A and B are shown apart, each in its own frame.
Chain A
């Protein structure tokens, strides 16, 4: 439904609409942020205003809302009225979903289309197509926030956890920097097995293997920090061993150095170390290194040194 369809007839020229008096948009005495609407846009919305005022919930009104949506898919009042018409006419949800899927494919980052989808499913309770549909959108744009939001809602609401970890794993194999997929990983585990010791150890292994492939992958490091935050960064011997190994390999990634620094900060905070002065020196050295390899955050790394020294006083 594009603006320059051939054979498009304005509503005011359609005999089947002759009973309706279109309502032009009133602006009041002044107008701000005016839009130079096209003739077609004005015509559609003149008729939408009339239908809204009349409260007409008919097939032709339904078609009119689709046309209005094509001109402004963000109009929340049009979407809401469309939902009322669908309910009044007891329309087939599957048909509406087909129409909606097409719109979402064109307008993937629009809030109203995704809300409409959720509203339909809340009514029909049929979420059988949703994982497939969101995968399709995510395939096209790995980080589409709306698609991930909708996917999470469907999984939570309709208990569709079963294959999600596998799906996440597939995405992370394609792109280990996909932050949305890492977030989804945390989401699935949190709500299914939980981060038991056994699960946590598996996740540590998984994450460190991914880190090994790309040391500067912030998403993986954030995930590692995140899963360890309850027990502490120094909880796992496996992590400590691997970190030592990487230190020996002279890994210069700022993400890695920052992690080592955080481990030391934690030790100093919990009072869990004997050689406090040595640790502080180590931390200060790391901050110095970080100032050189992560220059954007040089002021932050200097601040961390001060924070450490303050904390110990």
Chain B
């Protein structure tokens, strides 16, 4: 068995976070996803402390948040960008954009990976415009229940983005933007005759879309509601048959390191992970390791890339190998990051409860400072204005009453 090159992997992911050579220009529009792979990988390696400056990364992520304009009418264009290639970035401290930029809009996968990255870095999401992110997700759901990527003219729609929508909803602790019945109907229709899930109805069953479908159901808390015991049995059978040495995504395709995560995580969700052959899976993933530069490749003997490096490592983490931190199979972040997320949710709950408690007026004033409500009726201002207006009229009356002078 090859040795796990821990320190090389730490160097690899740190390098990806810093700079990539020109031949990676085709990643320019999804740098956010690449950042996520690196951050989550370093988290799994318990090596976030090796990152030079995590605050810089947090700032960069927020610079890619698309903010609504002052009226808030364009929240459906919000969310996060994949990179700064379109000429717009958000400055630190901004809560609105002050100009209308037609071609500036969020992408559902970038919103998902942006939020996940913030959680991994320990950020409290206080600068996330949650309402806008949810409006953006809501606007992307289609009649058939699936989700498209951007508001512009849509982009492709498939199971990947159903998963993104559900992940975003879990991270923001708010499922109001997702029509869950419609999403589940889409997932159900995408069940293939052979027991796996395709990217959409009638499409070939595939390891990636099977993960997205099962994880989305798990995140919605509807796995056993939507999938009968019989369906789960067939799904388990299909998933387990995707293992050769490592895993592959479709029958008769070659093993590929990333499927050790896609199928591994699905089997975890189905409570069947213990049934795989751990040793062969481990051996395969390690055979794709690059012992010189770190990282993992899709197949043995080819160059590593960020996605396969991350997914390959997740595949090992699912088995609890090499002191890698445990990951949450549905959310695809460490359990540690999930714990941090839950703490944030507790704080949000506290804020909501204090708002309900009207005796604690100071707390009411502190609620959501970042979200002004321009149309709120401010009763205090009105009373004061009334008093100011009435004062001069009352003054002579008060004088007469007090000093008992005759009528004016």
Contact = CB atoms under 8 A, between A and B. Distances in A.
Interface string A194-234: 00000000000000000000000011001101110100000
B87 A145 contact: no
A35 B277 contact: no
Interface in A67-122: 71-77, 80-81, 83, 111-112, 114-115, 119
Contact of A218 (B149, B193, B241): B241
Contacts of A34: 18-20
B85 A76 contact: no
Contact of A75 (B28, B34, B241, B253): B28
Contacts of A219: 251-252
Interface stretch (A131-139, A166-174, A276-284, A297-305): A297-305
B225 interface: no
Interface string B293-326: 0000000000000000000000000000000000
Contacts of B193: 186, 222-223, 225-227, 229
B153 A80 contact: yes
Nearest to B107: A76
B20 A32 contact: no
B194 interface: yes
A297 B243 contact: yes
Contact of B34 (A33, A53, A143, A187): A33
Interface string B226-249: 000000001000101101110000
B29 A76 contact: yes
B35 A77 contact: no
For B25, B92, B107, B234, the residue with the greatest tally of chain A CB atoms inside 10 Å of its CB is B25
A156 B16 CA distance: 43
A274 interface: no
Contact of B85 (A28, A49, A73, A227): A49
B89 A145 contact: no
Contact of B203 (A28, A183, A225): A183
Interface in A34-81: 34-38, 41, 45, 48-50, 52-53, 55, 71-77, 80-81
A291 to B, nearest CB: 12
A303 B192 contact: no
B259 to A, nearest CB: 14
A218 B252 contact: yes
Contacts of A156: 202
Interface stretch (A5-13, A19-27, A241-249): A19-27
Interface stretch (B52-60, B170-178, B339-347, B366-374): B52-60
Contacts of B59: 28-30
Contact of B240 (A73, A114, A300): A300
Contacts, number: 197
B29 A75 contact: yes
A30 B204 contact: no
Given A28-B60, A37-B25, A114-B156, A296 B35 contact: no
A129 to B, nearest CB: 20
B277 A296 contact: yes
Given A28-B89, A219-B252, A180 B204 contact: yes
Say which size band chain A's interface belongs to. Answer: 35 or more
Contacts of B195: 222
B202 A27 contact: no
A186 B150 CA distance: 32
A222 B195 CA distance: 9
B256 to A, nearest CB: 13
Contact of B38 (A33, A180, A296, A299): A33
Contacts of A49: 85-87
A77 B86 contact: yes
Contacts of A29: 56, 59, 63, 92
A177 B254 CA distance: 13
B24 A35 contact: yes
Interface in B265-310: 274-277, 280
B275 A80 contact: no
A289 interface: no
Contacts of B60: 27-28, 30-32
Contacts of A256: none
Interface string B27-71: 111110011001000000000000001001101110100000000
Contacts of B90: 28
A149 interface: yes
B275 A83 contact: no
B199 A145 contact: yes
A125 interface: no
The 5 closest A-B pairs by CB, nearest first: A226-B193, A49-B87, A30-B56, A222-B194, A28-B63
20 contacts: A28-B90, A29-B63, A30-B53, A32-B35, A32-B60, A33-B19, A37-B25, A48-B85, A72-B29, A75-B85, A81-B103, A149-B199, A149-B200, A149-B203, A179-B250, A179-B253, A218-B241, A296-B277, A297-B240, A299-B274
